Amino acid sequence: MIWDAIDFVCREAALQLRRERLIAISTVSTVAVLLVVLGSIALFVMDLRAWTGWMTGQLEVWGFFQSDVPRADATNALEPIADWPEIQDVKFVTKEEAWQRQKQDFPSIAKLEDAIDNPLPDAVRIKVREPQYTAAVADKLARVSGIDAVRWGGGLAQQLVKFKRIVNWVALVVSLLVLVAAVFIVHNTIRLALHSRWREIYIMQLVGATRTTVAGPFLLEGTLHGILGAALACCVLVPAHMYLRDLAEHSFFPLAPDRALLFFALHLLLAGALLGLTGSIFSIRRYLRQKPDWHR
Amino acid sequence: MPACIELKNVSVVYPNGVAALSGVNLAIDHGEFAFLVGATGHGKSTLLKLLYREELPTEGQVFVSGWDVPRLSPSRVARLRRRVGVIFQDFRLLPRTAWENVAFALHATGTPYRDVRRRVPEALTDVGLLDKADDFPSSLSSGEQQSLAVARVLAVRPPLILADEPTGNLDPASSQHVMSLLADASAKGATVLAATHDPAIVNAMRRRVVALRSGRIFLDTPKGRYPDDLGRD
């Protein structure tokens, strides 16, 4: 019995998809356009997150040891630091390594090598997991025995935290607005499509079909339209993002990795299915309950 | 056992103030074949619509097989309509092929697929439309559309058949054939109430005749003839 019902819903939906091509084209294209807009916002947010993650990876907290601290004591001090939960990576930088890098970065210093002694102390370089941890890590590091001075990009870290928060909120609000608009537009598109089939829906009920029997194929049809629209949007957005990512690979603005696109595509397909389904539910309810004007 | 159809003091007044039915009392037993006659606009279609709940009475009670029709929930209305086959005056066919129109009615009544595949061609053969099974209603003549509407009902084999001018667009030979199909259904146990203003059909079959004038029953005779003073539209 239940299989007969499922079979019936599938056959009816397939019949409608085959026969009502114009309706299918208009619904699928509407969903596709809306999801390209919504998906673009989602990709933009993903990329900004990837960028802030990348920027976070660039944030470093430096701690400089007092010049009279023996190197063995300095390296011992690193062990508890490595266990701090906020940090991603910790590295001891000897004053010789630091001096060498200075000379590489500033060739003019190399010319004066004979004239001046290495003025740099031994140091510890820490990378934090999230930008908001930077200040706390710098504070903790300043209290480590033997540390003379701490340097960190305080302003940049705080700006990054603020920026990330604003991006999240703006993305959430804009996505919600676009989503509401999308539901409204898809609902109206499906409603217009169903309007032409109002009599058909009514006749189905006159010959004894239950509301579920009538609505089932329309809901499946709407869901399939949504998935097809989402698939079209994926066909536009995914290759476009892959192309942009290739362009930006070695730039200061690396985009979200390609593996993230798989999850993005799956979410977009789900969003398309839900858009089609909810749009159909809102639309069909009206036509199931009202009698068409038969003589118009 | 309650009557198949029972109307108790039923009145219908449309929103524009027109009284379609006034104080109608009627009972039709199971398996009975009755004609509902009357000039256009005198309440025949309204009375039929009450029975499958397309209209609701302003006053009075309507029962079909004991079910209080105006008080049915939406799911019960669907169950009622599965038991009531209606041949509509304006056919009310789905924009699908002839085969699919009949098949949909069978699916809607919960008929298993293997039975649908058997009963659709049987019904189309009965009305002479098997060779047009793949045609859409828009490409059928009015008479063929009417025959398809008849096939859709006969395929379902409902216990109650309501026919609103079932022969209105048919030639005399086809009319006789359709009426004989309805008579067969009645002989097999179905109750048939056919609204018509075709005296030839009524007089040839000599069944119960219920005549309406201005929304009131003014004649109800077993094995009756088409009333001479009713006139034709």
pLDDT along chain B (233 residues), means of 10: 91 92 95 92 93 94 95 90 93 93 92 91 94 95 91 95 89 87 92 92 93 92 84 47
Contact, B168 vs B232, CB < 8 A?
A: no
Which of A15, A206, A208 is closest, CB to CB, to B92? A206
Tell me, yes or no, whether B96 lies in a domain.
Answer: yes
Q: What is the rounded end-to-end Cα distance, in angstroms, of chain B? A: 38
Search chain B and give the residue with CA nearest A19: B96
Which of B86, B95, B109 lies at the smallest CB-CB distance from A206?
A: B86
Residue B52's closest chain A neighbor by CA? A206
Question: Residue B105's closest chain A neighbor by CA?
Answer: A207
The residue range of the domain holding B170 is 5-221
Task: Give the model confidence (pLDDT) of A12-71 as tens digits.
Answer: 888 888 888 888 898 899 999 999 999 998 888 888 878 877 777 777 888 898 888 888
Q: What is the ipTM of this complex?
A: 0.89
Q: How far is CA A92 from CA A127, A141, A184, A285, in A?
A: 12, 13, 58, 68
Q: Residue B160 phi/psi, 5° resolution?
A: -130, 125
Asked if the C-beta of B105 comes within 8 angstroms of chain A's C-beta atoms, the answer is yes
Give the sheet arrangement for strand B59-64, strand by strand: B19-28, B5-13, B59-64, B67-68
User: Residue A153: what pLDDT?
Assistant: 72
The answer to whether residue B189 is domain-embedded is yes
CATH number at B169 reads 3.40.50.300
Number of structural domains in chain B: 1
- Predicted TM-score (pTM) of the model is 0.74
The three-class DSSP label of residue B210 is strand
C-beta separation of A211 from A205 below 8 A: yes
Assigned domain for B232 exists:
no
The pLDDT of residue B168? 83
| Strand-by-strand arrangement of the A60-65 sheet | A87-93, A123-128, A60-65, A147-152
| Residue A1: per-residue pLDDT | 67
Residues of A with CB under 8 A from a CB of B: 1, 4, 7-8, 15, 19, 199-200, 203-211, 213, 291, 294
**Using CA atoms, how far apart are residues B226 and B13, in angstroms rounded to an integer?**
27
Q: Are strands A147-152 and A60-65 parallel, antiparallel or unpaired?
A: antiparallel
8-state DSSP, B167: T
Unique residue bearing structure tokens 């089939």: A197
Start-to-end Cα distance in chain A: 38
Helix (H, G, I), strand (E, B) or coil at B4: coil
- Summary count for chain B: helices (H), strands (E): 7, 10
| Cβ atoms of residues B11 and B57 within 8 Å | yes
Whether A223 and A280 have beta carbons less than 8 Å apart is answered as yes
Residue B56 lies in a domain: yes
In terms of Cα–Cα distance, which of B216, B215, B161 is closest to B184? Answer: B161
In chain A, the domains with their CATH numbers are: 2-55+159-288 (no CATH), 60-152 (3.30.70.3040)
- The per-residue pLDDT string of chain A (296 residues; one tens digit each, 9 = 90 and over) reads 677 778 888 888 888 888 888 888 988 999 999 999 999 988 888 888 788 777 777 778 888 988 888 888 888 888 888 888 888 888 888 888 888 887 787 777 777 766 777 788 889 899 888 777 888 888 888 888 888 888 887 677 778 778 878 888 888 898 889 888 888 888 888 888 888 888 889 999 999 998 888 899 989 999 999 999 999 999 999 999 888 888 877 776 777 777 888 999 999 999 999 999 998 998 888 888 877 766 55
Give me the pLDDT at residue A182, please.
85
Q: Could you tell me which chain B residue has the CA closest to the CA of A289?
A: B74
CA B84 to chain centre: 8
Check CB contact under 8 Å for A8 and B107.
yes
Whether B228 is covered by a domain: the verdict is no
Residue B233 domain flag: no
Residue B204 lies in a domain: yes
Residue A52 has a CB neighbour count (10 Å cut-off) of 18
Of B75, B105, B112, the CB nearest to A207: B105
Contact call for residues B160 and B62 (beta carbons, < 8 A): no
- Rounded to 5 degrees, what are φ and ψ at B70? -65, -20
Alpha helices, DSSP H, located in chain B: 44-51, 74-83, 98-108, 113-126, 142-156, 172-187, 199-205
C-alpha–C-alpha distance, residues A14 and A53, integer Å: 46
Q: Is residue B227 part of a domain?
A: no
Strand partners, B63: B6, B68
